Amino acid sequence: MLKRGRKMDETITRQAQQAVRDVLAAAKLKKGDIFIVGCSSSTVKGASFGAASSMEIAQAIFDGIYPILQEQGIYLAAQCCEHLNRAVILEREATVKQGREEVNVVPQPKAGGSFATITYRTLKDPVAVEHIRADAGLDVGGVLIGMHLREVAVPLTLSIRAIGEAHLTAARTRAKFIGGERAVYNDDLK
**Phi, psi for residue 108 in degrees, rounded to 5:** -130, 160
Going by DSSP bridges, is the β-strand pair 75-79/34-39 parallel, antiparallel, or unpaired? parallel
In a domain, 6, yes or no: no
Residue 126 lies in a domain: yes
Q: Would the CA dihedral through 29, 30, 33, 34 be positive or negative?
A: positive
SS3 105: coil
Q: Does 1 reside within a domain?
A: no
E strand residue ranges, the chain: 34-39, 75-79, 88-91, 102-103, 126-129, 136-140, 153-156, 162-163, 166-173
Let me know if residue 65 belongs to a domain.
Answer: yes
Across the strands, what pairs with 89? 78, 128
With a cut of 90, say whether residue 62 has pLDDT above it.
yes
Lowest mean per-residue pLDDT among 42-51, 52-61, 79-88, 143-152: 42-51
% residues pLDDT > 90 (the chain): 72
Domain-embedded: residue 80: yes
- Residue 2 belongs to some domain of the structure: no
Position 188 in a domain: no
Please report, for the domain that includes residue 109, its CATH number.
3.40.50.10360
User: Is the pLDDT assigned to residue 56 strictly greater than 90?
Assistant: yes
Express each pLDDT in 82-138 by its tens digit: 888 889 999 999 988 778 889 999 999 988 999 999 999 999 999 999 999 999 999
Q: Tell me, what's the pLDDT at 5?
A: 62
Number of domains in the chain: 1
Q: Which of 45-49, 61-65, 146-150 has the lowest mean pLDDT?
A: 45-49
Confirm whether 187 is domain-assigned.
no
pLDDT for 9 equals 85
Domain holding 151, by residue range, is 12-175
Residue 3 has pLDDT above 70, yes or no: no
| pLDDT confidence tier of residue 50, bands split at 50, 70 and 90 | confident
